Structure 1
């Protein structure tokens, strides 16, 4: 079912069984749009959050309410090749995401005009409404097929070159290296690299301390170097302990689970008042994966963590993988296309430049 969403404060609809219009303020979130659609269509057998919304895109533009594919979306599930082209993870609208991200001037300017976006509405299994549609039946059959297949589980710390490439392929993600990163400036502050410590054993030989043993030291190092902006924006740097698998999430539209954690998170300082709030990732801006030695295939662990955090977060996020000395690798989701998602990657060698990027990342979404 196609819905045309207008960026205005009131709402209206056009007839049952056809594309309809809902008007809503752009500063509302997707969950509020679900409530308005449920009310407009008079759904009574399921809650609003059971609806799934997808951006209705075709060839880089909004799906027209006169497009012939709309007929295909209403056909029986068996042999239907139309719906799977539109009901994809790349086009899924996360419930906590602000609608302003989709309107003109948001994250998808190539698809937006000043007034409206087009959305596909998928009802849950067993939904009853005054119009008839085969979309829910197709979703049901897809779900049954998923249940019969063993779910793929990717543990972030175990994602390497082989399974990492498969993950990117399955999720239709392309990684594009960049020479520079957003928010960088021409003036950089000199910052000393982190000093990894070691201890002497009984025979006088140096034994390097593990990353885990130095977690609080490097957390404090990061916090100190971006402390001013943390205080200004009421953020903090939190270390994620073993067993806190807060980056665990099911990927919508796929039989895939991402599981595990990262080392550090930059997020709201509310978690200092109540550490249990960490599970909700309030105001999260960035994850930081710290490794004393970064191997070529370590990049796939960082990508896996970024994908999970992007699915869980309300606003755009960034990932940083670093040895805290001369290897600082930044990753961010740059854009969503009809056929794939682009993730940009950029390498920085100087700690001062890297911390400036971290500061600008935190400032982007106050």
Structure 2
């Protein structure tokens, strides 16, 4: 009778274990390499985090939101030979329009561009916020655009310009007053709104961007900027997890790992391009948002120095509760409710609106 020793029995098991360990090491190496060589994995991680936050805030904003009329899923890059040399098939180019119930006449209009680090977000996010603005007597347009890493700068700039053209062409049917427009946005959407406003009011900057603005300067009565980015190279100095996320987002959107020195970053940095002709502007940011001191306050100071009309809502460093990025959408906070009131007050002032529609 033959017996097998323990070492002989363990040999196949060690062989399998060795290959399992090798496989794990290879997989980890591939993962590490993918994060180092392309922004896509990191961008998708950041997108997941931002989308979760947006869903939570959108759900909260539904509570107590007023009823409005809604025209949804409007394609703004339609096959229009006046603007496009060939048919356009853009699945991201849609917008939604909110108006007070029973609206039959044109109203001053707030055109909102959503945030999400240029790689997340949707025009339906924060719908309860748009309905509150509409209930205050405005037509409110929420514009969708293409996201990174699937699409890069300057795709959203051209899409938004086309959206502006569509709104002007279809103003009557959408109850838009094309001569009383307010461009608005949050976070990356604030950056895009500021960029379009700067292009509309400065032909030289528009030429740098390679666009012919669809709107005239006199049509833009004001700009609302919440927690935005206006000096992209200044975004590169953050450390920790937040800094990593910022770098992944900007790498994905600009297409350059060294985004701070890229042409895209220079064009996106409206702090460098604004002029005295920039529209009246409302700017806010929370005291717990790192973008406030590096982005929002410098832009407010620059516009003030240029002589542009600026209305700001900032908070002392020791303000409690600490107000983070996108604080204005959390209406459980008194400070967010104040910010909403200030936004409505500003929009009414610059457009000459009297209040809610009858």
- TM-score bracket for this pair, using the shorter chain length: under 0.3
Q: TM-score, normalised on structure 2?
A: 0.27
Q: What TM-score comes out, normalization by structure 1 length?
A: 0.26
**Higher-strand-fraction structure:** 1
